[in-house]
């Protein structure tokens, strides 16, 4: 229904464009000068068609459900029902009217379902009538207003500019959405669990929180020693540290080689090949770590008489390091290439070899940019999810032994939120609190890294 209406409105838009242009041509034929190209007259009318349609559609989308609900529940509101019961009744009649209701059908629900259907159809048809009449009225008004000396280009361009501006707000809206979705759950979480326990507690055992009768009131003492995030934070940074131990030497050295030593031919092939590593989906790395690297390390450890967990932090961290190599290598490659040639020439002129030039002149000059690229790599390692979920353990151990299994923030979020969630449960809220801390940590890393890289770029441009 809505689709047909929508197509119809689009058609109306095209028609009004056509009429607007035709009017411009008629004006032109009377030897009067137009103030804009004839298309603008068409666009002008089309916009007059689109705006009322958009406004009415959004008004309906916002208010229709609430008004229908109010009208239905007004029948029962003075019969002593509680709010929750009324809501349930409303949901039941809605389900019944869609034919998806499986419970016992009381005449009560049946009546309100019928009423729901009739109200919906009234709302639908009134929407059609109002939208169409509003469009016709506004287009007719605009059509009459067009004359030889009316301005059409300026309003059309202003409108387009407004559309462009709105689109650019999407990035801000997304950030607001992220903060919004995290903050309420996080606040609720810290109402039950003191912030101090979360940040300094050393026992993470959210499964305990699940064993709870939902009808009972929340008992904060029950959760003491359940949501201490220290092992999670420690595990996250530990695995990220292992990853960077793999990624920094290999990534940095290949970046230096590509920038300073490699012939154009080697560069042409090696660079995109290394960057393939960045394009492989992380779930594939996770599978690789869990199926190949984990068991391999375990066997290797057993043959050397070491006890290695099949889900060791080393396997997850090592594979994650491989994933991060290309980020560091291409960023440091870029940074090193942008060091001005005069610095190199100066060093060569003093008799330094290439490696001495790189170590003593180029590297110090490029250091801020390299640090920035490493920070971006760290932020990626901390936020990486699938490798850890698949290859590292899910129980939070507080350990610094890379052969044991540990867990990370991201892995815990997935473990808690996979399957059905009950909002309002401290366990679910804990996941959002973890998400909030992840967001804040990576945000700080990113801001610092981007600022460092930007400062560095400005220095040499």
> Can you tell me the distance from the alpha carbon of 54 to that of 60, in angstroms, rounded to the nearest whole number?
10
Select from 196-204, 305-313, 324-332, 392-400 the region that touches other proteins (CB under 8 A). 324-332
Of residues 77-136, which lie at the interface with other proteins (CB under 8 A)? none
Chain position carrying tokens 């990220």: 240
Binding of residue 385 to other proteins (CB under 8 A): yes
Chain position carrying tokens 């109200």: 119
CB of 153 to other proteins, least distance (A): 7
Nearest to 206 by CA among 182, 234, 231: 231
Shortest Cβ 256–other proteins spacing (Å): 6
Site size for other proteins, by CB under 8 A?
A: 88
Question: Which listed range, 23-31, 76-84, 111-119, 170-178, lies at the site for other proteins (CB under 8 A)?
Answer: 170-178
Q: Is 276 in the site for other proteins (CB under 8 A)?
A: yes
Half-sphere exposure of 375 (CA within 13 A, CB side): 19
Identity of the residue, 226 or 410, whose beta carbon is nearer to other proteins in the bound complex? 410
What does the alpha-carbon distance between residue 183 and residue 41 come to, in Å, rounded to a whole number? Answer: 48
Site residues for other proteins, window 26-55 (CB under 8 A)? none
Contacts of residue 66, Cβ cutoff 8 Å, sequence gap at least 6: none
Which residue in the block uniquely carries the two structure tokens 């009208």? 71
Q: Looking at beta carbons only, is 47 or 182 nearer to other proteins?
A: 182
Tell me how far apart the alpha carbons of residues 312 and 393 are, in angstroms, rounded to a whole number.
7
Q: What is the distance between the alpha carbons of residues 336 and 20, in angstroms, rounded to a whole number?
A: 58
* Among 139, 193, 234, 290, interactor with other proteins by CB under 8 A: 290
Q: Per CB under 8 A, which of residues 327..366 are in contact with other proteins?
A: 329, 353-356, 358-359
Q: Output the CA–CA distances (angstroms, integers) from residue 284 to 9, 270, 316, 448, in the order listed.
A: 46, 22, 12, 30
CB distance 297 to 376 below 8 Å: no
Region near other proteins per CB under 8 A, out of 27-35, 93-101, 305-313, 408-416: 408-416
Tell me the closest approach of the beta carbon of residue 433 to other proteins, in angstroms: 11
Q: Do the Cβ atoms of 20 and 45 come closer than 8 Å?
A: yes
Instruction: For the CB of residue 80, give the shortest distance to other proteins in the complex, in Å.
Output: 28
Name the minimum Å distance from CB 310 to other proteins.
Answer: 13
User: x/- contact string, 228-257, with other proteins (CB under 8 A)?
Assistant: ---------------------xxxxxx-xx
Nearer to other proteins, 140 or 287 (CB): 287
CA distance 433 to 403: 28
Stretch that binds other proteins, among 187-195, 341-349, 393-401, 430-438 (CB under 8 A): 430-438
Q: Which two tokens stand for residue 344?
A: 């190199």
First vs last C-alpha separation in the chain = 58
d(CA 270, CA 327): 14
User: From the list 7, 77, 292, 302, which residue makes contact with other proteins (rule: CB under 8 A)?
Assistant: 292
Instruction: Output 129 or 291, the one with its CB closest to other proteins.
Output: 291
CA gyration radius, the chain: 32
Contact between 273 and other proteins (CB under 8 A)?
Answer: yes
Asked if 370 interacts with other proteins (CB under 8 A), we say: no
Task: Kindly tell me which of 61 and 400 has the beta carbon lying closer to other proteins.
Answer: 61
Residue range at the interface with other proteins (CB under 8 A); choices 172-180, 223-231, 340-348, 365-373 = 172-180
CA distances from 164 to 9, 56, 168, 285 (A): 22, 22, 6, 39
Q: What is the CA 25 to chain-centroid distance, rounded?
A: 49
Among 47, 239, 258, 370, binds other proteins (CB under 8 A): 258
When binding is defined by CB under 8 A, the residue of 55, 129, 218, 450 that contacts other proteins is 450
């Amino acid at each position: 229904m809505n689709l047909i209406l929508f197509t119809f409105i689009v058609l109306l838009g095209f028609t009004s464009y056509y009429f607007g242009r035709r009017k411009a041509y008629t004006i032109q034929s009377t030897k009067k000068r137009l103030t804009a190209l004839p298309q603008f007259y068409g666009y002008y009318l089309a916009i007059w068609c689109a705006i009322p349609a958009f406004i009415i559609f959004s008004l309906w989308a916002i208010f229709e459900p609430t008004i229908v609900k109010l009208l239905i529940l007004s029948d029962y509101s003075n019969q002593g029902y509680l709010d929750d019961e009324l809501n349930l009744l409303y949901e039941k009649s809605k389900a019944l009217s869609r034919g998806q209701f499986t419970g016992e059908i009381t005449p009560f629900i049946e009546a309100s379902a019928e009423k729901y259907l009739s109200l919906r159809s009234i709302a639908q048809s009134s929407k059609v009538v109002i939208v169409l009449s509003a469009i016709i009225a506004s287009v007719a008004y605009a059509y009459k207003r067009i004359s030889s000396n009316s301005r059409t280009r300026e309003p059309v361009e202003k409108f387009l500019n407004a559309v462009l501006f709105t689109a650019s707000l999407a990035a801000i809206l997304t950030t607001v959405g992220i903060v919004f979705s995290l903050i309420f759950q996080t606040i609720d979480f810290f109402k039950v669990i003191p912030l101090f326990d979360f940040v300094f507690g050393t026992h993470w055992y959210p499964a305990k929180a699940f064993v709870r009768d939902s009808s009972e009131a929340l008992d904060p003492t029950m959760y003491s020693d359940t949501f201490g995030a220290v092992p999670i934070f420690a595990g996250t940074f530990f695995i990220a540290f292992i990853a960077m131990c793999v990624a920094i030497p290999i990534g940095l050295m290949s970046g230096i080689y590509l920038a300073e030593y490699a012939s154009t031919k080697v560069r042409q092939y090696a660079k995109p090949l290394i960057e393939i590593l960045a394009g492989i989906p992380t779930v594939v790395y996770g599978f690789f770590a869990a199926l190949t690297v984990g068991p391999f390390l375990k066997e290797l450890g057993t043959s050397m008489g070491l006890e290695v967990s099949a889900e060791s932090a080393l396997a997850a961290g090592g594979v994650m390091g491989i994933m991060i190599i290309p980020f560091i290598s291409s960023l440091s490659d870029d940074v090193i290439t942008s060091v001005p040639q005069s610095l190199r020439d100066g060093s060569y002129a003093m008799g330094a070899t290439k490696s001495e030039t790189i170590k003593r002149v180029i590297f110090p000059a490029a250091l801020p940019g390299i640090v920035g690229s490493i920070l971006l790599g760290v932020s990626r390692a901390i936020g990486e999810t699938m490798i850890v979920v698949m290859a590292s353990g899910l129980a939070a151990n507080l350990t610094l032994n890379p052969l044991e299994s540990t867990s990370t923030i991201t892995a815990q979020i997935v473990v808690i939120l996979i399957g059905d969630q009950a909002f309002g449960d401290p366990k679910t809220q804990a996941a959002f609190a973890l998400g909030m801390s992840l967001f804040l940590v990576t945000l700080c890393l990113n801001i610092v890294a981007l600022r460092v890289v930007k400062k560095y770029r400005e220095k040499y441009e």
